[in-house]
Amino acid sequence: MKTIHVATEVNGDNVEFVCAPDESLLDVLRNRLGLTGVKEGCGTGDCGACSVTLNGRLVCSCLVLGAEVEGATIGTIEGMARADVLHPLQQSFIDHAALQCGICTPGILVAAKALLDKNPDPTDTELRYWLAGNLCRCTGYDKIIHAVQDAAKKMRTV
Amino acid sequence: MVAVTIWGSLRAFTDGRAQVEVEARNFKELLDVLAQTYPGLKPQITRGVSLALDGRIYREAWFTKIRSDSEVVLMPYMAGG
Amino acid sequence: MALDSNNKRVFKVVGTRPPRPDGIEKVTGRALYGADVSAPGMLVGRILRSPHAHAAILSIDTSAAEALAGVKAVITAQDFAVQDDSALRDVQENCMARGKVLYDGHAVAAVAALTPAIAKAALKLIKVTYKALPHVTDVDVAMRPDAPVVQAGRSFENVPAGMAENVTSQCEFGHGDLAAGFAAAALIVERSFTTAAVHQGYIEPQACLASMTADGKADLWCCTQGQYHVRALCAALLGMEASQLRVTASEIGGGFGGKTTVFIEPVALALSRKSGKPVKIVMTRDEVFKATGPTVSSSIDVKIGMTKDGRITAGEAHLRYSGGAFHCGTIDMGAQAAFAAYDLQAVRTLGWNVLTNRPKEVAYRAPGAPQAIYAVESVVDELCQKLGLDPLDVRLKNAARKGTKSSYGPTFDDIGLMATLEAAKAHPHYTAPLAPGQGRGLSAGFWFNFGGNTCVSLNINTDGTVGITEGNPDIGGSRAAISQMAAEELGIPYEKVRTIIADTSSLGHNDITDGSRVTFAVGLATIKAAQDAIQKMCARVATLWEIDAEAVVWEDGCAKPSGPNAGQFPPMTLAEIAAISFNTGGPIAGHHEFNADGAGVSFGVHLVDVEVDRETGATKVLRYTVFQDAGKAVHPSYVEGQMQGGAVQGIGWALNEEYIYGEDGRLQNAGFLDYRVPVASDLPNIETVILEIPNPGHPYGVRGVGETPIVPPLAALSNAVSRAIGLRMNRLPMSPPRILAALSAKR
């Protein structure tokens, strides 16, 4: 199978890779670019563990082809902190014990940030519906909602 | 001698008795005596049993001391998840 | 162990909420889970699976697959020796079918190749000739005399003659005169219930990386709840000795009991052995649903008699569980747990395990208890409704307490059921008004918990920090709790302690992270290891001060003279003692190895309010409160996390989740779209109330908490829905089509 050469931007860095035509962006990120923060929970777009932003839009990277991201801008969990300074959302998750096993955490953080970038003051209901595409099996979501709302509050007062 | 409570489906091998009296000073002796006196219990003992001694469950500790006035209850080997 | 006077003490670190040590790695995506690691020269492993629910394997021709360029190894069951022990044989045959395939998705062969694409193509080239056999997927159908036989000759000696060959075991528990008990009842309710099989639903599929070299030594990286158990199983299946196989547990993306055995690990090791290269296998979500370990499916009959003023006079249950195509002992746990919350004069449970053409069961939190307690608590609730009695008052009237002879035999010591019931009664949730169309339900629940084999090594670094090495994968925040208990015992700040999880070569055996045992057993071992280190530090100081060892005591993180007669010496801190350790005899460490007993049972009560939409059949959870006895909550946030997480898993089990089989015996919903777990928008906040009735078997009073929370939700939801729609529901899940069917049947 002929491989395709792609040049794109990930977390502000220019990167290049080659991939098979049917390879997903998820596989490219994990296996070609060494960015294993994004996770495969289902491969069919149902769990959100592979959430990234593509040109500013929240997507499941398992539903995007590697070949599709030529010239695009991608945001993953690895781009959320600034060097060793955590993003307020990340700090809030630790402070509120909003993670247990942590496998869904990168996807949920990317999704939460995508929401707050558009809507800095969501209601609990808006937040819960926004995160409905991110499955968590450990926490029951309660502390996640508290953590995001607390981070949102802190981010609004900056 | 200590009284040992046998659970329902094992009573077929102790002549229907829910409680049997055995001479045993610890868990291992208890299992050995039970297997010897009631050979029908052997397969279950081999598969695994736990012991509840005065309300406390011991999964497999052979040297757990048993007194003659202890409450001794045989239980299936515990499993969790 | 006697009740330690430490139970009454004021804790400094235990009971606080410090940050977890793995937090930053997990929020930045740097933590390494099962699929996140690769090795140089690594091959990709893929598994070929049966499309039949039940079939004889007539032949497997792997020649074309072996000849494909880039394929380095192909294996079948022939690459595994036959095991003598029946339990090990079952594990091996579940990992790779021998002679027969027993469920849709059962593994029959595997390949290792240079790339995923080549591995996928190679699978297609393996020619398997099957002869389809009649199949059975329903537990009650499988018990009929004419049912297809899943495996012959697997019945234990406790199965009476004449039962169907699919029945592998029978168990019975209880005491008292049932006939007299029922005769004394004012009202008897008899009901039958069924529950579908569900899956633990961990978001991380199984993944492993196996690397075996020609001298027979191997390294295995995998996501597991028990690396030592994985070592034991893989060593047996591969014919290796324990010291040859080093198993390292990755961070784990959820387990809940489902990652307490092996599925792909022996396969990866066998492929690595055959190819001479490391082999990585990652399951797809489809494979996880089809070929890992869901719960049993169940069919249960319950009969309970009650007096007019709410005293239960007799309780009886017949439980039929199916743990799939291999023998499963979960019925023993369910039959014991069913009436455990009650103080009964007459009680009897009779249970059977039945084989079906379904995947081999593995635990899901408290295995066997949710189904049994769902059925019992539903009947208790129906009796309360019919007699016009308050359901909490009835639980209080019949609750097991210290001195109660439990329904499974032993007499209870201090337990927290009364306290949780009283807390529920006093809580505003219980008396909050309900609107029309809404219903409130409650259920008590319980799990045994246990201790188990544990090793801990506690090392004092020369700068006064402490490193703890333990052997239990952290699935709920246990590393933090372990560090807290060590800090408490040593009298040093939490920040000075770091707890890591060892691979199997670095520490003695540790039982699986299950049974809600880690905070209890590993915590207990840590306390003892700390006391061991303290004793050694005191001995060093005694030598330095030239006084007797008994004259040195440990207080507030320092060695001090025991009294004025011992001499005038300023206290020496742990850091000061550590700094001179090389001069005073060498590095200082404490350790402890034991088989822990004395785990305390954990009782819980759940309250839930629901609203049912009569047009769609959808149930909305409006309010949910969890009450549970933790003995002593070492890190309250993580105890709350277990309570909330288990409750939500139970909500999914009650309202939506189920394994759906077609007429062809194949699983129809092997993905998260059609296997519907709760999402954030389904749920309200989950309020938690932690009770602390200390466990006499632990110096700080700790009880395990992780499993109990999944037990009460099933009946709590069923009771709430039943009251909301005015109809008793007796089947799980209560999905919208089922509720609509029940409502239209009523009309």
Best to test chain C binding among A101, A108, A128, A134 (most C CBs inside 10 Å):
A101
Pair A9, A20: CB distance under 8 Å: no
Give pLDDT tens digits for C579-605.
999 999 999 999 999 999 888 888 999
Phi then psi dihedrals of residue C391, to 5 deg: -65, -30
Residue C81: partners with Cβ closer than 8 Å, 6 or more residues away? C237, C239
Find chain B residues with C-beta within 8 A of C697's C-beta.
56
Judge: A90–C28 Cβ closer than 8 Å, yes or no.
yes
Give pLDDT tens digits for A65-88.
999 999 999 999 999 999 999 999
Cis peptide before C733 (omega within 30 of 0): yes
Rounded-to-integer distance, Cα A18 and Cα A27, Å: 12
Q: Show which of residues 133-152 on chain A sit within 8 Å of chain C, judged by CB atoms.
A: 133-145
Q: At what angle do helices C636-655 and C478-490 cross, to 10 degrees?
A: 150
Pair A15, A7: CB distance under 8 Å: yes
Flag whether pLDDT at C12 surpasses 90: yes
Predicted-complex ipTM score: 0.98
Beta-strand relationship, C572-573 and C619-629: unpaired
Give pLDDT tens digits for C332-366.
999 999 999 999 999 999 999 999 999 999 999 99
Instruction: Give the closest-approach CA distance of C48 to chain B in angstroms.
Output: 28
A93 in reach of chain C (CB within 8 A): yes
Judge: B75–C336 Cβ closer than 8 Å, yes or no.
yes
Rounded-to-integer distance, Cα C268 and Cα C37, Å: 14
pLDDT band at B79 (very low <50, low <70, confident <90, very high): confident
Find chain C residues with C-beta within 8 A of B61's C-beta.
595, 597
Judge: A93–C645 Cβ closer than 8 Å, yes or no.
no
Spatial CA neighbour of C496 closest among C460, C520, C532, C531: C460
Give pLDDT tens digits for C462-487.
999 999 999 999 988 899 999 999 99
Side by side, which strands form the sheet with C55-61?
C100-101, C55-61, C127-132
DSSP-based helix, strand, coil % in chain A, nearest 5: 40, 20, 40
Judge: C686–A144 Cβ closer than 8 Å, yes or no.
no
> pLDDT at position C5, please?
42
C285: nearest CB among A43, A86, A91: A43
Spatial CA neighbour of C79 closest among C281, C266, C359, C218: C266
Residue C320: partners with Cβ closer than 8 Å, 6 or more residues away? C139, C140, C143, C298, C299, C300, C351, C352, C354
Instruction: Give the closest-approach CA distance of B36 to chain C in angstroms.
Output: 17
Flag whether pLDDT at C217 surpasses 70: yes
pLDDT band at C1 (very low <50, low <70, confident <90, very high): very low
Judge: C175–B18 Cβ closer than 8 Å, yes or no.
yes
Judge: C173–B78 Cβ closer than 8 Å, yes or no.
no
Q: What is the mean pLDDT of chain B?
A: 92
Judge: B10–C158 Cβ closer than 8 Å, yes or no.
yes
Pair B51, C587: CB distance under 8 Å: no
Give pLDDT tens digits for C79-127.
999 999 999 999 999 999 999 999 999 999 999 999 999 999 999 999 9
Q: What is the mean pLDDT of residues C184-190?
A: 98
Residue C428: partners with Cβ closer than 8 Å, 6 or more residues away? none
Rounded-to-integer distance, Cα A55 and Cα B74, Å: 65
B9: nearest CB among C170, C175, C366: C170
> pLDDT at position C8, please?
57
B46 in reach of chain C (CB within 8 A): no
Beta-strand relationship, C466-470 and C497-501: parallel
Q: What is the mean pLDDT of chain C?
A: 96
Flag whether pLDDT at C36 surpasses 60: yes
Distances (CA, A) of C332 to A42, A66, C170, C321, C325: 34, 51, 9, 10, 17
Minimum mean pLDDT range among A25-34, B59-68, C357-366? B59-68
Judge: C476–A78 Cβ closer than 8 Å, yes or no.
no
Side by side, which strands form the sheet with C466-470?
C497-501, C466-470, C452-460, C588-596
C538 in reach of chain A (CB within 8 A): no
Minimum mean pLDDT range among B46-60, C30-44, C189-203, C307-321? B46-60
Judge: C707–B81 Cβ closer than 8 Å, yes or no.
yes
- Number of Cβ within 10 Å of residue B3's Cβ equals 15
Q: What is the mean pLDDT of chain A?
A: 97
Residue B36: partners with Cβ closer than 8 Å, 6 or more residues away? none
Instruction: Report the chain A residue with the minimal C-alpha distance to residue C650.
Output: A140
C133 in reach of chain A (CB within 8 A): no
Flag whether pLDDT at A135 surpasses 90: yes
> pLDDT at position C4, please?
42
Rounded-to-integer distance, Cα C4 and Cα C698, Å: 8
Spatial CA neighbour of C291 closest among C51, C84, C117: C51
Judge: C680–A43 Cβ closer than 8 Å, yes or no.
no
SS3 assignment for C595-619: EECCCCCEEEEEEEEEEECCCCCCE
> pLDDT at position C746, please?
79
Q: At what angle do helices C478-490 and C523-545 cross, to 10 degrees?
A: 30
Q: What is the mean pLDDT of residues B24-48?
A: 94
Q: At what angle do helices C227-238 and C86-95 cross, to 10 degrees?
A: 90
Find chain B residues with C-beta within 8 A of C331's C-beta.
none
Best to test chain C binding among A23, A39, A90, A103 (most C CBs inside 10 Å):
A103
A63 in reach of chain C (CB within 8 A): no
Using alpha carbons only, give the angle C351, C355, C360 rounded to the nearest 5 degrees.
Answer: 105
Distances (CA, A) of C236 to C83, C91, C270, C596: 8, 10, 12, 26
Taking CB atoms within 8 Å and a gap of at least 24, the contacts of C532-539 are: C532/C458, C532/C590, C532/C591, C532/C592, C533/C458, C533/C460, C533/C490, C533/C588, C533/C589, C533/C590, C534/C489, C534/C490, C534/C590, C535/C590, C536/C588, C536/C589, C536/C590, C537/C460, C537/C574, C537/C577, C537/C588
Give pLDDT tens digits for C633-657.
999 999 999 999 999 999 999 999 9
Using alpha carbons only, give the angle C459, C465, C467 rounded to the nearest 5 degrees.
Answer: 35
The subunits that touch chain B, with at least 3 C-beta pairs less than 8 Å apart, are C
Q: What is the mean pLDDT of residues A130-141?
A: 98
Q: What is the mean pLDDT of residues C189-207?
A: 98
What is the distance in angstroms between the CA of the first residue and the CA of the last residue of chain C? Answer: 60
Strand ranges in C630-706 using DSSP code E only, listed in sequence order = 686-691
Judge: B81–C409 Cβ closer than 8 Å, yes or no.
no
Find chain B residues with C-beta within 8 A of C363's C-beta.
79-81
Instruction: Give the closest-approach CA distance of B80 to chain C in angstroms.
Output: 4
pLDDT band at C631 (very low <50, low <70, confident <90, very high): very high
Judge: C200–A76 Cβ closer than 8 Å, yes or no.
no
Flag whether pLDDT at C3 surpasses 70: no
Bridge partners for C113 per DSSP:
C44, C71
pLDDT band at C6 (very low <50, low <70, confident <90, very high): very low
Flag whether pLDDT at C7 surpasses 70: no
DSSP SS3 for C295: coil
Find chain B residues with C-beta within 8 A of C710's C-beta.
none
Q: What is the mean pLDDT of residues A107-111?
A: 98
DSSP SS3 for C103: coil
The 8-class DSSP code of residue C361 comes to P
DSSP of C552-606, one letter per residue?
EEEETTEEEESSGGG-----EEHHHHHHTHHHHTS-EEEEEEEEE--PPPEEEEE
Can you say how many angstroms the Cα of residue A52 is from the centroid of all Cα atoms in its chain? Answer: 4
DSSP SS3 for C43: strand
C476 in reach of chain A (CB within 8 A): yes
Can you say how many angstroms the Cα of residue C95 is from the centroid of all Cα atoms in its chain? Answer: 21
The 8-class DSSP code of residue C551 comes to G
Enter the tokens of residue C126.
């393996």
Distances (CA, A) of C585 to C127, C235, C549, C561, C581: 67, 39, 15, 21, 6
Residue C72: partners with Cβ closer than 8 Å, 6 or more residues away? C43, C112, C113, C114, C274, C275, C276, C277
CA torsion through residues C625, C628, C630, C631, sign = positive
* A-C contacts at Cβ under 8 angstroms: 175
C513 in reach of chain A (CB within 8 A): no
Find chain C residues with C-beta within 8 A of A137's C-beta.
200-203, 254, 256, 645, 649, 677
> pLDDT at position C2, please?
34
Find chain B residues with C-beta within 8 A of C452's C-beta.
59
Judge: C645–A140 Cβ closer than 8 Å, yes or no.
yes
pTM of the model: 0.96
Ramachandran region, residue C355 (left: φ > 0; alpha: ψ -120 to 50; beta: rest): beta
Phi then psi dihedrals of residue B68, to 5 deg: -65, -25
Enter the tokens of residue B3.
């009284």
